[in-house]
A = this chain, B = another copy of it.
């Protein structure tokens, strides 16, 4: 039987420490008195907690607030170099590896072409070696390195840290990625699917701009979502929350791997949109835009198509807008279901076509009567940008160590 567990004092201590650190991080600079007001903790508790954070090197005193009559107040800021984490975003054609500090700044990054993505052992080995070189080059204090986060394509088996036959990695069966990376690097490892990792990155880096709830839509090789509700990421029963590709849309002739003709996923991948261009506008348009149409040229073709859409090529815009409309249909349902007032767009595949996607999503999610009369939905771009997958992966570690959350107070016992 699943049962909520009670809580106790050591847990409360850890939780309050995370709450105070989060308040310092999101405010930028803040006094102890302000922290007490912000967190609802007593001045005494705040002082004790701050002392521990100073001792741990996670925050620093950074001068004094201007006097407002009484005693001048010492200000506290985050110590960015107090901790850092590695983030790895695995995509079929490349792995992006970053080192991120406690403030969310990227202090080193590498992009690694994956020549043989069909062999997980080789992928892990190459990424681990590149990570080692990147850490050396970035002069990271290993004592401050908290671990390595992986943003992987789903589906995941959340309980074992394995990915299970991800559709875009042909030949991968059940691959225990978390264990493999732990062994190859000797670091503590956190694993999540790419869209959820990206959403955690947005929450962690975005501070006050990403507080509360939002739906993060990630456009990469596939489409995925990350769901943040009341400052907490939704993982789901199996660690696969945010699967967005099976949302129903107007059916056509593209078959999803689940067998349905009305799943969003197959209509909005870069490969599908390139195919649409050929089917709807013909070879002449494709030549003008510079598409080859061969299966192994998807990356370059997609770049060319986005470039054409950015300079308002009518045919390129048309196929991008068709996909955007379907994303909008799915987003309308998801935003209504979750009742979020913010949708965030991110992912590499979005570059250059973000205005079109944004316009269609914004119009769709603001149609419903709740949106019109009670809470409009804003659609925003990722605060992190293109590397949101990798920075999100690093945030899995930072967030897992320092974000205040329910799990710090309670555990679920089996």
Chain B residues with CB below 8 A from A264, complex form: 333
How many copies of this protein are present in the complex? 2
Instruction: Evaluate whether A246 and B336 lie within 8 angstroms (CB atoms) in the complex, with A164-B374, A165-B369, A409-B409 already known.
Output: yes
Chain B residue nearest to A333 in the complex (CB): B247
Is A367 a contact of B258 with CB atoms below 8 Å? yes
Q: Decide if A2 is an interface residue (CB 8 Å cutoff).
A: yes
Chain B residues with CB below 8 A from A133, complex form: none
Chain B residues with CB below 8 A from A246, complex form: 332-333, 336, 367-368
* B-contact bits for A1-42, CB 8 A (1 contact / 0 none): 111111110001001100110110011000000000011111
Is B19 a contact of A339 with CB atoms below 8 Å? no
Tell which of B42, B211, B242 touches A337, judged by Cβ atoms closer than 8 Å.
B242
Q: In the complex, A165 Cα to B27 Cα: how many Å?
A: 39
Interface of A is mostly: loop
Is A238 a contact of B367 with CB atoms below 8 Å? no
Q: Decide if A286 is an interface residue (CB 8 Å cutoff).
A: no
Q: Decide if A91 is an interface residue (CB 8 Å cutoff).
A: no
Chain B residues with CB below 8 A from A381, complex form: none
Chain B residue nearest to A373 in the complex (CB): B164
Chain B residues with CB below 8 A from A375, complex form: 237-238
Tell which of B165, B374, B404, B413 touches A373, judged by Cβ atoms closer than 8 Å.
B165
Is B373 a contact of A409 with CB atoms below 8 Å? no
Instruction: Evaluate whether A241 and B38 lie within 8 angstroms (CB atoms) in the complex, with A12-B7, A155-B370 already known.
Output: no
Tell which of B6, B155, B211 touches A40, judged by Cβ atoms closer than 8 Å.
B6
Is B330 a contact of A248 with CB atoms below 8 Å? yes
Interface residues contributed by chain A, number (CB under 8 Å): 87
Chain B residue nearest to A341 in the complex (CB): B237
Chain B residues with CB below 8 A from A144, complex form: none
Binds B, one of A67-75, A95-103, A226-234: A226-234
Instruction: Evaluate whether A250 and B247 lie within 8 angstroms (CB atoms) in the complex, with A2-B212, A7-B15, A339-B241 already known.
Output: no
Q: Decide if A52 is an interface residue (CB 8 Å cutoff).
A: no
Cβ distance A389 to chain B, nearest Cβ, rounded Å: 19
Instruction: Evaluate whether A208 and B155 lie within 8 angstroms (CB atoms) in the complex, with A247-B337, A329-B248 already known.
Output: no
Tell which of B41, B212, B243 touches A339, judged by Cβ atoms closer than 8 Å.
B243
Residue numbers of A with Cβ under 8 A of B are 1-8, 12, 15-16, 19-20, 22-23, 26-27, 38-42, 45, 154-157, 164-165, 167, 208, 211-213, 225, 227, 229-231, 234-251, 257-260, 262, 264, 329-330, 332-334, 336-341, 367-370, 373-375, 404, 406, 409, 411-413
Give 9 pairs: A residue, B residue, CB < 8 Å, sorted on A.
A6-B39, A40-B411, A157-B374, A164-B369, A227-B337, A238-B341, A243-B336, A245-B336, A248-B329
Q: Which 4 A-B pairs have the closest CB atoms?
A: A236-B339, A247-B333, A5-B40, A241-B339
- Sample of 18 more A-B contacts, CB < 8 Å, known A40-B411, A237-B340: A2-B211, A4-B22, A5-B39, A6-B20, A6-B41, A7-B16, A164-B369, A213-B236, A229-B229, A234-B339, A236-B340, A240-B336, A241-B338, A247-B248, A248-B248, A248-B332, A258-B369, A337-B337
